[in-house]
Amino acid sequence: MKKTSDIIKNEESAMEITSFLTSVEIQQSSAKLLQPIYHGDQPVSTTMFVPLNVFDRLSDDIYISMLYAYKPPNPSNTLLEQGLRKTLSEYREWAGRFGEDEIGQTIILLNDQGMSFTEASANCTLDQAFPFTTPILLKLSPNFEGVEELAAVQLTRFTCGSLVLSFSAQHIVADGQSVSHFMISWAQACRGLDIHPLPLCNRNIFVPRNPFNIEFDHRSVEIVKRKISKYSIPLPYAEDDLVQQILHCTPEFIAKIKNKASFSPGSSFSDVNGGCKPPYSTFVCLAAHLWTVITRVRGLDDSQTTYVKISVNGRRRLRPPIPDEYFGNMILCAFSETQAKNLYEEPLSHIAKIVQEEVTKVDDNYFKSYIDFANKNLKDDGLTPRKADPLSVPSCWPNLEINSWLGFTFNDVDFGTGKPFICIPSFDPLEGETYVVPSTVNDKSIDVYITLFQQQQALFKEMFYNID
């Protein structure tokens, strides 16, 4: 049993930490627009435009932010600025603006008006500010309320010499795979290297078949389910209660989840030695586990239907495959659905099977069928970029949304002084929004970032790690 004096000391220490964190200040010192730098004497047209592809049109009208932290010595702001301007000559969309064509469809104007570039400083060391609270996370990236820029960078210097670099991207312009390649290109430019591979910036490559061959009910999925279901009951907490929960998964912990998710009585999966061979990927097993845990934490009724929404990258699913360097969006979503009762009672292997089956369905045939459907219904308002539904409490309840960044190269962004030692998504104020990211520890561990109500953090963490 703890002594009363120890409890008092711990409480005082916690109060001191809380008091310090509330005093962390991040001040923006300058903000400007960066235009591309072009090589050669030939003038570049600024009247060109790019139409949205059929996958861009499914994207939400939101900005996604990624934070990279570098210990000293790190690159100067001037070096980062010059490298960024060179990179923008190959990724012109980021320096452009949205517009409309003659029939009112959204387009990207390649007018080189510029990307937002902000310099800032903090009044503390990075160790004192990390792990970042929600208010600090929000200050490390620019505010996007009412802005026209399609991408933004903020460089925040800490008193210890550490640098936090925030890159924020308009999701309608490109997906996570594209952002990953852009960041590597920026790093190459800062190191004086040629950008390789160059981005594939042709959004007209998704040609429908003649005649159309629409094999699936895309209206029920891509139009209806893409909208997070509005809950029909009052939620127990408020928007101000939303926080980011970080869960570190060691290789040993991941192995336990995979073994549990792959074990099923009577299963036919086995390796050459007669042992159990996990049939599911790391991501599928984690997704099944996360879905089970959040359902229990929420305490959904047995009969409540819930789904987990999973983004599926189509570049390698199409036949022939699309190069990874394709710049734009190429994402469709899998929706695995069941009743809460099954998530309470069935083994993890059963839940993993539900997830796996839906993810597997989003294959070459499905992507091509959607391309046909979207081209046949180009004027459908349901196939246009949209802002998030105005909810009193931003939440996926009773559902879960999971984005996998496991195949992206975020951790390899080296501007010349080394790779980042922190690489995390910024705070996403939507309860149930989840990102699965490779850890910078470089031991094959994984970090999970999920937005939860702070009142449920402790229970979620306890149940997440309790897999025995």
Instruction: Please tell me which residue in 56, 171, 181, 218 is annotated as part of the active site.
Output: 171
338 C-beta neighbours (distance < 10 Å), count: 18
What pLDDT score was predicted for residue 385?
Answer: 83
pTM of the model as a whole? 0.90
Contacts of 235 (CB under 8 A, 6+ apart): 393, 395, 397, 431
Contact 452, 246 (CB under 8 A): no
What pLDDT score was predicted for residue 380?
Answer: 82
Residue whose token pair is 């903090």? 122
**Which sequence spans correspond to the domains of the chain?**
218-407+427-465
**Rounded distance, CA 266 to CA 161, Å?**
58
Residue whose token pair is 């009969």? 303
User: Mean pLDDT per segment of 10 residues, for the chain of length 468 residues?
Assistant: 38 43 84 93 86 94 95 96 98 97 92 97 96 93 91 98 98 97 98 97 95 96 74 79 96 96 61 55 97 97 96 96 97 97 97 97 98 91 77 88 93 95 93 95 92 96 93
Residue whose token pair is 């246009």? 384
**Please, which residues bridge with residue 403 across strands?**
435
What pLDDT score was predicted for residue 228?
Answer: 55
Q: What is the 3-state secondary structure (H, E, C) of 253-274?
A: HHHHHHHHHHCCCCCCCCCCCC
203 C-beta neighbours (distance < 10 Å), count: 20
| 39 given a catalytic annotation | no
End-to-end Cα distance, the chain: 26
Q: Which CATH architecture has domain 218-407+427-465?
A: 2-Layer Sandwich (3.30)
DSSP, collapsed to helix, strand or coil, labels residue 117 as strand
**Rounded distance, CA 180 to CA 322, Å?**
16
Contact 326, 178 (CB under 8 A): yes
Instruction: Please tell me which residue in 60, 61, 241, 414 is annotated as part of the active site.
Output: 414
What pLDDT score was predicted for residue 230?
Answer: 52
Query: Hey, what are 252's tokens?
Result: 């040993």
| 171 given a catalytic annotation | yes
The DSSP call for residue 431 is B
Phi (first) and psi of residue 81, to 5 degrees: -65, -45
Number of H helices, E strands in the chain: 12, 15
**Rounded distance, CA 375 to CA 348, Å?**
39
Contacts of 179 (CB under 8 A, 6+ apart): 64, 66, 167, 169, 408
